[in-house]
Amino acid sequence: MTWETVIGIETHVQLSTKTKLFSRASTQFGESPNTNVNLIDCGLPGVLPSVNKEAFYKAITFGLAVGSQINQTSIFDRKNYFYPDLPKGYQITQMDLPIVLGGTMDIETENGIKTINITRAHLEEDAGKSIHDEYDGYTAIDLNRAGTPLLEIVSEPEISNAKEAVAYMKALHRLVTFLNVSDGNMSQGSLRCDANVSIRKLGDETLGTRTEIKNINSFKFVEKAINFEVKRQIKQLEKGETITQETRLYDSVKDETRPMRSKEFANDYRYFPEPDLLPVVISDKEMQEIKDSFPELPKEKEQRFQTELSISEYDAKIIASSKSMADFFEASIKETSNYSLLANWLIGEISAFLNKDSIEINESKLTPSSVAMLINRIDDQTISGKIGKSIFEEMYTSGISPDEIIESQGLKQISDDGAIEAIINTVIQENPTQLKAYLGGKEKLFGFFVGQVMKLTSGKANPQSVNELLKEKLK
Amino acid sequence: MSIQFKTITELREMLDSKIISSEELVNETFRLNEQFKELNCFVTLNESKSREKAIGIDQQDEPLSILSGIPLAQKDLFCTEGLRTTCSSKILSNFIPPYTATAVSKLEDDGSITIGKTNMDEFAMGSSNETSFFGPVHNPWKKGYVPGGSSGGSAAAVAAGIVPAATGTDTGGSIRQPAAHCGITGMKPTYGRVSRWGMVAFASSLDQAGPIARSAEDCAILLNSMSGYDSKDTTCLDLPNQDLLETINNPIKGLKIGVVKEFDMSDLDLGVQQAFEQSKKLYESLGAEFVEVSLPNISASVPAYYSIAPAECSSNLSRFDGIKFGHRTEDPGNLEELYVNSRSEGFGDEVKRRILIGTYALSAGFYDAYYKKAQQVRRLIKNDFVSAFESIDVIMTPTTPSTAFAFGSKGAQNPVELYLEDLFTISSNLAGLPAISIPHGQLNNLPIGLQLIGNFLEEGRILNAAHIFQKNSDFHLTHPNMEDFK
């Protein structure tokens, strides 16, 4: 039997606002527990939400980028449930009237570009965190995250397999980071998704019963979780059993999905309009301001890198495809003039190291200044490209600046002709046999002499000078 | 010289002419409270800080404002920094807020002195002050009788002359009904006139803070101070400053007063009917005209209210879960037990009843039939008022169907009996309109209240109508003899 997979994805994107959705507390990640918390965030008796418009602007920016209809009047609802990290006992969210309605996202698949329809995207506040493993017999609550603005983006069930799901998540990640809507930092939970998965016989019109896999926070796990779930559902149906509509969790250690306890999701959320907030209206003037300050998207960046900075089409495309790489590149060019050498390094050596560790450049120890300095030292011939590579490896692991490495390890290139000449003389004197053979017509031995000079200078001699001076000497 | 039963205006004169200092005033207030402590008006007193503030004010050359050095009582549902705020509930019996409600801080910034926090129905849910965890409050006019509720402690403290004025909150009549039962003046402003920041929420779309005092004039003084825009409450209206005292003495000749056709007076106590007729005559003699108006959907206001208010309360009270503040049960076996036991132990019966009603009204499958329907009815009631105010200036009704009743005599068997206490007051909360209750007679030595409802934002007009009435009558000047409490 041939089965067809149908996937819809709900993505929670943490908006990169300075303060929370309904309070003026900071959204900074990684602070000590319960420090980015004010009266509103901990739901004290008598407090009321006040609106942070920045979150609305970011939501609208996303909506405009995917061609949505924007609801300029936002109404909020309360979703009621009890949980210790939900201080008010309800979450403020949008049920009936999402700020973003409709839209499309293009993803790259094996069969070319596929368009996925966006159902809606709405604003809501995040909950705090429950920490179960740090205090024996207790659960600790950290409310730093409580109230952080989220944009929940819901796709239509138009994704056909795990690979497409990953492509969708990657496209979404790229878009929200380019738009400055989110920092996209997945390890910090800035982008996480729930996948609704069902299967049906190929050609069937009606959808099969779906399961929802909750809270997946990496591209890799999206793929693995969906693949596991599809296999599980096929096995189930082929045994003649049915699929239970349920919420499941992906366990990355065991690489499997399993149902959550029914108590964890069998809630009647008793949605009703949030009476503490009047409708939030975004004026036409504000809409125009959002459009006027629209961030540059990858295609536009790619064009600009080629025309203004004379970067090759190939390099420009790769650098512009990642927000963190493009930002890094633009910060670095302020401190170096050899743009193409910089671009070469970024997409070559540097990307290789980053890929090996599966991190973005902004998560590494590299800084735009340190990389620009390295490019400058190669460009002004203080070091050779080859030495550059070993310096880079050190920079990458230690974060020490290239100048310090060059200084402390004495890696400065020898470009002084007198010094190089003296070494060449030594090499010639010590290798009379090879000299004789070379002068006798065995020109291949030129490389041998270069090698010997480099060996004696530990690779620091300027290769160009060595070539020129050797040719002169061996005439 | 006694300060008991003095108005703010009178106390201001005494302070300004140095007949009394603010410190003496505060000491005398605490002495009066001690003398009548059987009334049970206060849950928490603020003695040392009150004295400290009074001494500071006595050293100032000029008073900050008309309220400078005047003792006031705050309903115990306004958060007060460093001063316990319980909402008369066990679940908050140990809660000391780290911040002060906007309405209270505005009054304090004008120099008034918060002498303590007044008793109330638990979380403002009740019409008799009998649901308080700290025990019922006696009506100063008759021991063993309710002062009304939920702002019962505030109303009783003013009626007994302990303080000249107090704050209250009104979700369905919680300022006006106790003001009526205690023979004093109380006002619920337009929804959004006073910031709700720091006011522990019962039903967010209906709650509004307001003054309880001995006269309409004193209510105007308090409201002038309490009201005003506050960015911390998005439902608070951004209005130009308005001095409500400026228009309070305007002549009321030609004032068009509406009497609601649908309110059947013949069901009410004879004394309540007679007082109403006499007040009509007084207003007519002052040049007002009476017009019959129709509010066709008014009979649905009590059921609509008792769907919407419990729905909002069921959500607002979710934060009292034993996790972050307030009462937590001893040694719960698991999380669910922590929730269930903390809340079962912490809330009283009436609060539990309303949480259950509200949870039901919002639950899947019932939302449309109850909550949504109630909101539609609310819209109709609002529209009825809009039409009515096209031809009239104010609406006049009794505040309550009858006078104060004995402890335990109403609602013990059937809570709905008590819910009907709010018959005349609830509609102005649903419509967001300002309304005032003033005393206008007595029945068996218990006061009767008269309600004036104004159009949206027309506090000035109802205060004016109430003040002119009080200038031409002496109901507001009579006070209980306090014989029962000596």
Residue A168: the pLDDT is 97
Query: Under DSSP, is residue A172 helix (H, G, I), strand (E, B) or coil?
Result: helix
Instruction: Please enumerate in sequence order all residues whose Cβ is within 8 A of that of A25, keeping only pairs 6 or more positions apart, or say none.
Output: A19, A36, A37, A38, A40, A41, A147
pLDDT > 90: what percent of chain B?
Answer: 93
Those of residues 174-203 in B touching chain A at CB distance below 8 A are 196-201, 203
> How many residues in chain B?
486
Residue from the list A44, A89, A272 with its beta carbon closest to the beta carbon of B362: A272
B93 touches chain A (CB under 8 A): no
**Least reliable range by pLDDT among A179-188, B136-145, B207-216, B385-394:** A179-188
B404 touches chain A (CB under 8 A): no
Q: Which chain A residues are within 8 Å of B371, Cβ to Cβ?
A: 272
Residue from the list A80, A82, A275 with its beta carbon closest to the beta carbon of B205: A275
| B63 or A38, greater pLDDT | A38
pLDDT digit string (tens) for B229-255?
Answer: 999 999 999 999 899 999 999 999 999
pLDDT digit string (tens) for A9-29?
Answer: 999 999 999 999 999 999 999
Cβ–Cβ of B79/A89 closer than 8 Å? Answer: no
Cβ–Cβ of A39/B99 closer than 8 Å? Answer: yes
B371 touches chain A (CB under 8 A): yes
Q: Taking Cα atoms as reference points, which of A459, A381, A377, A473 lies closest to residue A421?
A: A473
**β-strand B394-398 against B289-293: which pairing, if any?**
unpaired
Instruction: Work out the angle at residue A288's Cα, subtended by the Cα atoms of residues A283 and A292, and round it to the nearest 5 degrees.
Output: 150
pLDDT digit string (tens) for A327-347?
Answer: 999 999 999 999 999 999 999
The C-alpha atoms of residue A346 and residue A360 are separated, in whole angstroms, by: 12
Crossing angle for the helix pair A323-332 and A313-320, nearest 10 degrees?
Answer: 120
> How many residues in chain A?
475
Shortest distance between the Cα of A51 and any Cα of chain B, in A, equals 8
Query: Does residue B410 have an active-site annotation?
Result: no
B456 touches chain A (CB under 8 A): no
**β-strand A100-101 against B435-443: which pairing, if any?**
unpaired
Instruction: Please enumerate in sequence order all residues whose Cβ is within 8 A of that of A97, keeping only pairs 6 or more positions apart, or say none.
Output: A71, A73, A74, A75
Q: Per-residue pLDDT for A365 more than 70?
A: yes
A180 pairs with which residues across the strands? none
CB A341 within 8 A of CB A372: no
The chain B residue lying nearest A43, using CA atoms, is: B319
B331 touches chain A (CB under 8 A): no
pLDDT digit string (tens) for A389-417?
Answer: 988 999 999 989 888 888 888 777 777 77
Number of CB atoms found within 10 A of residue B28's CB: 17
**β-strand A77-80 against A272-273: which pairing, if any?**
antiparallel
Instruction: Please enumerate in sequence order all residues whose Cβ is within 8 A of that of B220, keeping only pairs 6 or more positions apart, or say none.
Output: B244, B245, B248, B463, B467
What phi, psi does A335 have (nearest 5°)?
-120, 10
Cβ–Cβ of A270/B205 closer than 8 Å? Answer: no
- CATH architecture of the domain with range A417-473: Orthogonal Bundle (1.10)
pLDDT digit string (tens) for B145-160?
Answer: 999 999 999 999 999 9
> ipTM of the assembly?
0.95
Q: Which chain B residues are within 8 Å of A23, Cβ to Cβ?
A: none
- What separation, in Å, do the N-terminal and C-terminal C-alpha atoms of chain A show? 78
Residue B283: the pLDDT is 98
Average pLDDT over residues A317-324: 89
Positive or negative torsion for Cα A426, A427, A431, A434? negative
pLDDT digit string (tens) for B427-454?
Answer: 999 999 999 999 999 999 999 999 999 9
pLDDT band of residue A449 (cuts 50, 70, 90) is confident
Q: Per-residue pLDDT for A383 more than 70?
A: yes
Shortest distance between the Cα of B316 and any Cα of chain A, in A, equals 8
Q: Per-residue pLDDT for B1 more than 70?
A: no
CB B482 within 8 A of CB B41: no
A248 pairs with which residues across the strands? A213, A259
Shortest distance between the Cα of B232 and any Cα of chain A, in A, equals 6
Instruction: Please enumerate in sequence order all residues whose Cβ is within 8 A of that of B232, keeping only pairs 6 or more positions apart, or say none.
Output: A48, A50, B102, B195, B197
A236 burial (CB, 10 Å; 0-12 / 13-18 / 19+) is middle
Query: Under DSSP, is residue B219 helix (H, G, I), strand (E, B) or coil?
Result: helix
Cβ–Cβ of B315/A51 closer than 8 Å? Answer: no
Token pair recorded at residue B122: 């638990």
Which of B174, B301, B314, B428 is catalytic? The answer is B174
Query: Does residue B75 have an active-site annotation?
Result: yes
> Cα dist. B312→A262, A275, B203, B234, B361 in Å?
27, 8, 5, 17, 10
Query: Does residue B150 have an active-site annotation?
Result: yes
Shortest distance between the Cα of A364 and any Cα of chain B, in A, equals 39
Q: Which chain A residues are within 8 Å of B205, Cβ to Cβ?
A: 275
The C-alpha atoms of residue A323 and residue A320 are separated, in whole angstroms, by: 7
3-state SS, B40-94, equals CCEEEECHHHHHHHHHHHHCCCCCCCCCCCCEEEEECCECECCECCCCCCHHHCC
Positive or negative torsion for Cα A18, A20, A25, A30? negative
B319 touches chain A (CB under 8 A): yes
Residue A262: the pLDDT is 58
Number of CB atoms found within 10 A of residue A112's CB: 6
Q: Per-residue pLDDT for A1 more than 80?
A: no
B360 touches chain A (CB under 8 A): no
B97 touches chain A (CB under 8 A): yes
Instruction: Please enumerate in sequence order all residues whose Cβ is within 8 A of that of A469, keeping only pairs 6 or more positions apart, or say none.
Output: A417, A420, A421, A424
- CATH architecture of the domain with range B8-256+391-485: Alpha-Beta Complex (3.90)
SS3 breakdown of chain A: % helix, strand, coil, rounded to 5? 40, 20, 35
Instruction: Work out the angle at residue A276's Cα, subtended by the Cα atoms of residues A274 and A277, and round it to the nearest 5 degrees.
Output: 75
Instruction: Please enumerate in sequence order all residues whose Cβ is within 8 A of that of B228, keeping only pairs 6 or more positions apart, or say none.
Output: B106, B194, B195, B239, B241
The C-alpha atoms of residue B374 and residue B366 are separated, in whole angstroms, by: 12
Query: Could you tell me the residue ranges of all domains in chain B?
Result: 8-256+391-485
Q: Per-residue pLDDT for A475 more than 90?
A: no
Residue B20: the pLDDT is 96
A62 burial (CB, 10 Å; 0-12 / 13-18 / 19+) is buried
**Least reliable range by pLDDT among A96-105, A257-266, A462-471, B324-333:** A257-266
pLDDT digit string (tens) for A240-292?
Answer: 999 998 899 999 899 999 998 655 455 799 999 999 999 999 999 999 999 99
Q: What is the residue whose two structure tokens read 């910089």?
A: A342
Q: Which chain B residues are within 8 Å of A48, Cβ to Cβ?
A: 196-197, 232-235
pLDDT digit string (tens) for A287-320?
Answer: 999 999 998 888 889 999 999 999 999 999 999 9
Crossing angle for the helix pair A432-439 and A446-456, nearest 10 degrees?
Answer: 150
CB B300 within 8 A of CB B345: no
CB A77 within 8 A of CB A273: yes
B155 burial (CB, 10 Å; 0-12 / 13-18 / 19+) is buried
Q: Which chain B residues are within 8 Å of A44, Cβ to Cβ?
A: 79, 97-99, 325
DSSP A333: T
The C-alpha atoms of residue A24 and residue B163 are separated, in whole angstroms, by: 38
Q: Considering only CB atoms, which residues of chain A are within 8 Å of chain B? A: 39, 42-51, 78, 80, 82, 84, 87-90, 139, 141, 268, 270-272, 275-278
Residue from the list A43, A50, A277 with its beta carbon closest to the beta carbon of B319: A43
3-state SS, B402-463, equals CCCCECCCCCCCCHHHHHHHHCCCHHHHHHCCCEEEEEEEEECCEEEEEEEEECCCCHHHHH
Shortest distance between the Cα of A345 and any Cα of chain B, in A, equals 52
Cβ–Cβ of A44/B97 closer than 8 Å? Answer: yes
Residue A266: the pLDDT is 59
* Alpha helix ranges (H) inside B86-170: 102-109, 152-159
Concatenated DSSP letters of A184-208: --GGGTSEEEEEEEEEEETT-SSPP
**What count of Cα atoms within 13 Å lies in the side-chain half-sphere of residue A64?**
19
Residue from the list B232, B312, B367 with its beta carbon closest to the beta carbon of A275: B312
The C-alpha atoms of residue B202 and residue B209 are separated, in whole angstroms, by: 12
Number of CB atoms found within 10 A of residue A399's CB: 12
Q: Per-residue pLDDT for B425 more than 60?
A: yes
Token pair recorded at residue A210: 């779906």
Q: Taking Cα atoms as reference points, which of A335, A371, A380 lies closest to residue A353?
A: A371
Cis amide linkage into residue B22, ω under 30° from 0? no
Crossing angle for the helix pair A298-309 and A313-320, nearest 10 degrees?
Answer: 140
The amino acid at B53: K
B217 touches chain A (CB under 8 A): no
Cβ–Cβ of B78/A46 closer than 8 Å? Answer: yes
The amino acid at A220: K
The C-alpha atoms of residue A336 and residue B441 are separated, in whole angstroms, by: 90
Which of B6, B53, B75, B90 is catalytic? The answer is B75
**What count of Cα atoms within 13 Å lies in the side-chain half-sphere of residue B229?**
7
Q: Taking Cα atoms as reference points, which of B200, B146, B198 lies closest to residue B171?
A: B200
Cβ–Cβ of B204/A276 closer than 8 Å? Answer: yes
SS3 breakdown of chain B: % helix, strand, coil, rounded to 5? 40, 15, 45
Which of A40, A78, A82 is the best mutation test for B, with the most CBs of B within 10 A?
A82
Q: CB contacts < 8 Å between A and B, how many?
A: 99
Which of A141, A276, A277, A281 is the best mutation test for B, with the most CBs of B within 10 A?
A276
Which of B88, B150, B301, B428 is catalytic? The answer is B150
Q: Specify the domain boundaries for CATH 1.10.10.410 within chain A.
A: 417-473
pLDDT band of residue A463 (cuts 50, 70, 90) is confident
Shortest distance between the Cα of A351 and any Cα of chain B, in A, equals 47
Number of CB atoms found within 10 A of residue B366's CB: 16
Shortest distance between the Cα of B107 and any Cα of chain A, in A, equals 17
| A196 or B266, greater pLDDT | A196
Average pLDDT over residues B40-57: 97
